[in-house]
Structure 1
């Protein structure tokens, strides 16, 4: 099922799921060696059709892999807008944090995925939720030179004066 999810093979995934259901053994939360579920693998690879198939089972949306990333995190980090939108529609928790405290908005901001950032903000993502080190999405965007993302975050109320644990604000990183 993980391979079908990775390759976006909906027909094969449906066949495997149908066969497993016939034997009362379907488990969409099964994790591979990296702790990833089929939903996570589909989200990672941008297969929105596969995500839609798996989305009917809520625990596949929130099951974390070993690093604490959920499907929404990996989809946002990789800029897979359609996957992010499918997960939002399936009621994925928008402000879910990784073990390091990163949210989907933080990851999308850091990587400069403008449309994903807008989609998450429109779905009520918390603009100033910080990582364990105090990094906000705005600081991450500025550190990576993501000017358009920084403007969007500021327009949505991002705190330009917030400082991370090292005492650095967004302006510090924007100036580097």
Structure 2
């Protein structure tokens, strides 16, 4: 049916009411063969189709990336799609893949040269986005790629949070362990003056609390006050965690930092 429409003169760059094109729709569905057919039959329309944006400023590459159609992503880039194009939220195809935990697409885009340092409208990089969407960092921060992310570990979003802040807040122990292994700092404070220990206490993330207590920099954070003058112990007591710590032999470290 697609080939018949194309032979009848239908243009692959024609935009409908939401400004999406047939190429956008095919990329959302992940139909690689149909996209190949479109470009083969109308090569003169390929460039404009790849650059075309819908009302959300989404390109066909955004559409393929958000649904983890990694083979199609590879093909679109080979045909000239811009790896780092931004949608209305200033998100790249890599950001959208990160928001869906689409690690195959993320690896494909990074291998092809996507810029991992770019930030969206909330000043969040792909690590922020992965963690806030419950992504599995170990799938992308493997031995082959992990060193690429070291320069962006301490990036802070509009709230001053690093990816480690969000991992601690959401209780992602594997992500916390991975970020700490790569060198993420537990000392960094957000706009509220809170470090990761404050957040772990605030949200009752006991597994994160114990992980941080093992860190050699623990003495520097356990008695640190936030912007309201509260230490992690103040927050823990307020959240009902004090008794748990007392009965698990961590009281000394919390009180004295020893």
Give the TM-score, by structure 1 length: 0.92
Contact 1:117 1:149 in 2 (8 A): no
- How many residues of Structure 1 are paired with residues of Structure 2 in the alignment? 176
Name the structure, 1 or 2, with higher relative contact order (CA <8 Å, separation 6+): 1
| Partner of residue 140, structure 1 | 166
Q: CA offsets per residue over residues 110-146 of structure 1, 9 Å max, x none? A: 2232234414962512211111221100001111111
Distance 1:162-1:49 versus aligned 2 partners, 3 A rule: same
- 1:27-176 paired onto structure 2 within 5 Å: 27-56=49-78, 60-110=82-132, 111-119=134-142, 122=146, 124-125=148-149, 126-175=152-201, 176=203
Contact 2:66 2:93 in 1 (8 A): yes
| Partner of residue 212, structure 2 | none
Contact 1:94 1:123 in 2 (8 A): no
Deviation of residue 33 (structure 1)? 1.5
Distance 1:71-1:116 versus aligned 2 partners, 3 A rule: farther
User: Tell me, which stretches of 5 or more residues in structure 1 are unaligned?
Assistant: none
Give the TM-score, by structure 2 length: 0.64
CA distance, structure 2, for counterparts of residue 156 and residue 20 of structure 1:
47
Deviation of residue 17 (structure 1)? 1.8
CA distance, structure 1, for counterparts of residue 58 and residue 200 of structure 2:
35
Q: CA offsets per residue over residues 1-48 of structure 1, 9 Å max, x none? A: 111111110011111122331457543121111111110111100100
Contact 1:102 1:131 in 2 (8 A): yes
| Partner of residue 27, structure 2 | 5
